[in-house]
């Protein structure tokens, strides 16, 4: 399967490739109507607008650092995953989007291994039966995912942080692929770069994920970016990733549409304008 991931609703509707992913909700806090016939992406805890308006809702470390876009290594604001009102709102939005069809969940986990240490999370962990915080955080995200999946008529795709080393996803974000696989139909992993002048790291990560989730009853899709990359390079890289995945999608703007059509034609063995 080869397709696109785009924020352009009209482009998503054009059926470029086998499958289109559309950014219905973004980490900025912007929300738009879902598009029929595509995979609509919903940002779960990533919501910069909410964090800016209500900083106390952001996930926080024990040292008081908030998961905000002006903090080093955080590119957007992240709401605490145990915020009950926000959680209920996300589930309602997923139900609305899920009534249209397939849904991709982004920013699904905690924003880092030191989060969250707010008073509510401390209390909930202390009241739980979990032996450690890693197990507890994973239970928070898995329980949420299970509730979200019940609200979606079509497939549910969970986005995983690009770190396939065993245990790292769980330690970093509370994402346990084996537990999540009980509730989702597939995983999508962003492997984005500019130009892809070197590709060994992409292939290494892809191979690692194939080993980590290959025995689970889920599909595995990788996302590539198109910024600064030639069509021939993208087609070559996609072929290599095809060995380890069920699909590859290309992050695509309207200005990149012809480039991706050339890539898809090359991958399908059809005549295209790709220049060797």
Write the CATH number for 145: 3.20.20.80
Q: Provide the pLDDT for residue 263.
A: 94
Q: Give the whole-angstrom CA distance, residue 267 versus residue 205.
A: 21
Supply the DSSP string of 222-246, one letter for each residue.
Answer: EEEE-TT--HHHHHHHHHHHHTT-S
With vertex at residue 95, the alpha carbon angle to CA 90 and CA 97, rounded to the nearest 5 degrees, is 95
Q: Provide the pLDDT for residue 74.
A: 86
Q: Give the whole-angstrom CA distance, residue 83 versus residue 92.
A: 14
275 assigned to some structural domain:
no
Q: How confident is the model at residue 73 (pLDDT cuts 50, 70, 90)?
A: confident
24 assigned to some structural domain:
yes
> Six-digit token pair at 163?
């770190």
Count CB atoms within 10 A of the CB of residue 94: 24
Contact yes or no for 80/60 (Cβ under 8 A): yes
How many structural domains does the chain have?
Answer: 1
276 assigned to some structural domain:
no
274 assigned to some structural domain:
no
272 assigned to some structural domain:
no
pTM above 0.75, yes or no: yes
Q: Give the whole-angstrom CA distance, residue 146 versus residue 25.
A: 20
| Domain extent at residue 168 | 2-267
The proportion of the chain whose per-residue pLDDT surpasses 70, expressed as a percent, equals 97
Which secondary-structure segment (H or E) carries 219? Answer: strand 219-225
CA torsion sign for 8, 13, 18, 24 is positive
202 assigned to some structural domain:
yes
- pLDDT by residue (tens digit) across 135-193? 999 999 999 999 999 999 999 999 999 999 999 999 999 999 999 999 999 999 999 98
Q: 154 in helix, strand or coil? A: coil
DSSP state of 176: -
103 assigned to some structural domain:
yes
Beta bridge partners of residue 66, listed in sequence order: 60
- pLDDT by residue (tens digit) across 182-233? 999 999 999 998 788 889 999 999 999 999 998 999 999 999 998 878 889 9
Q: Give the whole-angstrom CA distance, residue 84 versus residue 82.
A: 6
> Six-digit token pair at 15?
């059926």
Which secondary-structure segment (H or E) carries 166? Answer: none
Count CB atoms within 10 A of the CB of residue 32: 13
Q: Provide the pLDDT for residue 276.
A: 36
Phi, psi of 32 (to 5 degrees): -135, 165
Residue 63 buriedness (CB in 10 A; 0-12 / 13-18 / 19+): exposed
């Amino acid at each position: 399967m080869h397709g696109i991931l785009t924020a352009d609703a009209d482009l998503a509707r054009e059926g470029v490739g086998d499958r289109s992913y559309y950014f219905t909700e973004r980490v900025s806090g912007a929300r738009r109507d879902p598009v029929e016939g595509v995979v609509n992406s919903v940002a779960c805890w990533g919501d910069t607008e909410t964090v800016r308006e209500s900083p106390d809702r952001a996930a926080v470390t024990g040292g008081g650092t908030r998961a905000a876009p002006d903090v080093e290594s955080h590119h957007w604001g992240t709401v605490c995953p145990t915020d009950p009102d926000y959680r209920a709102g996300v589930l309602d939005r997923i139900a609305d989007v899920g009534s249209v069809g397939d849904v991709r969940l982004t920013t699904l986990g905690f924003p880092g291994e030191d989060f969250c240490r707010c008073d509510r999370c401390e209390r909930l962990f202390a009241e739980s039966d979990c032996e450690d915080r890693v197990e507890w955080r994973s239970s928070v995200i898995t329980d949420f995912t299970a509730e979200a999946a019940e609200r979606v008529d079509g497939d549910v795709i969970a986005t995983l942080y690009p770190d396939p080393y065993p245990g790292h996803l769980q330690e970093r974000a509370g994402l346990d692929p084996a537990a999540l696989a009980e509730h989702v139909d597939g995983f999508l992993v962003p492997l984005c770069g500019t130009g892809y002048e070197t590709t060994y790291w992409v292939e290494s990560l892809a191979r690692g994920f194939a080993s980590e989730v290959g025995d689970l009853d889920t599909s595995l899709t990788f996302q590539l970016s198109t910024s600064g990359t030639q069509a021939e390079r993208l087609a070559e890289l996609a072929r290599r990733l095809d060995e380890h995945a069920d699909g590859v999608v290309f992050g695509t703007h309207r200005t990149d549409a012809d480039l991706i059509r050339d890539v898809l034609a090359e991958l399908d063995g059809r005549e295209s304008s790709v220049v060797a």
